[in-house]
Structure 1
Amino acid sequence: MSTTSSEHITIVPFEEKYQQAFKDLNQWWIEQYFKMEKMDHKALDNPKSYILDNGGYIAVALLANTPVGVCALIKMENSKFDYELAKMGVSPEIHGKGIGYLLGNAILTKAKELGAKTIFLETHTSLQPAIHLYKKLGFKEIKGVESPYERSDYQMEIIL
């Protein structure tokens, strides 16, 4: 797959048939660097009820009809943020091919369509490629938001 480029990628909305890919792509990166936590299981085991039924959205990147990347937009309640960009995972075989950037842009476009003004995300300082991607998408570092994740030590926002 070394010749993969972003021109061959199609971004589509989540369907039930992509549920296992959504879980697998995220579980892979989480377990590479950290451990699965309660909130991971909640989102990855039940994307329809936890994300979609609550006003969120999931984008799926397809290469030849095979899911190679995913990203969620989770509606935030009782927060100064409208949504959270979360659960972005890309197949390790095609890291560095621009899939994350395509997914991030698709999520931000969807957020605007949904009327969002502010998007939040959280990550870990050890994930420098991810932080670089988020900055490229326009996110800026913020501090002071309580996190349900043990691994979260770096938070960002974008104002649309």
Structure 2
Amino acid sequence: MINIIDYKTVYQPDFYRLNIAWLDKYHLTESHDLQILNDPEGTIVANGGYIWLAMEDDVVVGTAAIIKESDGAYELAKMAVDDAYQGRGISKLLIEKCIEKAKEVGATKLELFSNSQLTTALELYKKYGFHHVDVTGSPFETADVKMEMAL
């Protein structure tokens, strides 16, 4: 059974491992990613954001975060599921947790930056109500997709 839990410092290596795997697989790793992966507490949590982990039998199999951009706006970020666990609905549990929390804290908009190579992820985002907008304000050179949803 998959449980979604709040991030704790002890899970930083798992957060790094799961995200660097997909970033490297698609040749998308950038210095901004590494700053976040090396210090998720300082770059996400300390600034009003949240991170969750998907656990199965004490193994971290997925991650997702929302980063506070401004009052009312959060970025869905660093969503990853271990390749061996994909296709089991884990990303749905994670994205639902992110959307639920964003609404809970009064966000009116959730946005994300992505890459057109990530077709499965992009389809998931569409299913949850994200729509394409012009790519502006991205901290990532490789982000050729920006999506938003009103909450």
What TM-score results when the alignment is normalised by the length of structure 2?
Answer: 0.96
Structure 1 alignment gaps of length 5 or more: 1-7
Report the Cα offset of residue 151 of structure 1: 1.3
Q: One-letter code of the match for 1:155?
A: K
The answer to whether residue 49 in structure 2 is matched with residue 49 in structure 1 is no
Structure 2 alignment gaps of length 5 or more: none
Partner of 1:5: none
**Cα distance per residue 1:97-116 (max 9 Å; x no partner):** 11111100001111111111
Partner of 2:111: 120
8 Å CA contact retained: 2:135, 2:144: no
Root-mean-square deviation (CA, aligned residues, Å) is: 1.3
**Cα distance per residue 1:14-34 (max 9 Å; x no partner):** 011111100100000000001
Identity percentage of aligned residues: 39
- Local SS of the residue matching 2:29: coil
Partner of 1:70: 63
Report the Cα offset of residue 144 of structure 1: 3.8
Q: Distance in 2 between matches of 1:67 and 1:156?
A: 27
Cα separation, partners in 2 of 1:123 and 1:35, compared to 1, 3 Å: closer
* Runs of at least 4 residues off by over 2 Å: none
- How many residues are treated as equivalent by the alignment? 151
Q: One-letter code of the match for 1:51?
A: I
Q: Distance in 1 between matches of 2:52 and 2:3?
A: 10
The answer to whether residue 3 in structure 2 is matched with residue 10 in structure 1 is yes
Equivalent residue in structure 1 for 2:95, among 97, 100, 104: 104
Q: One-letter code of the match for 1:61?
A: A
Partner of 1:3: none
What TM-score results when the alignment is normalised by the length of structure 1?
Answer: 0.90
Report the Cα offset of residue 35 of structure 1: 3.8
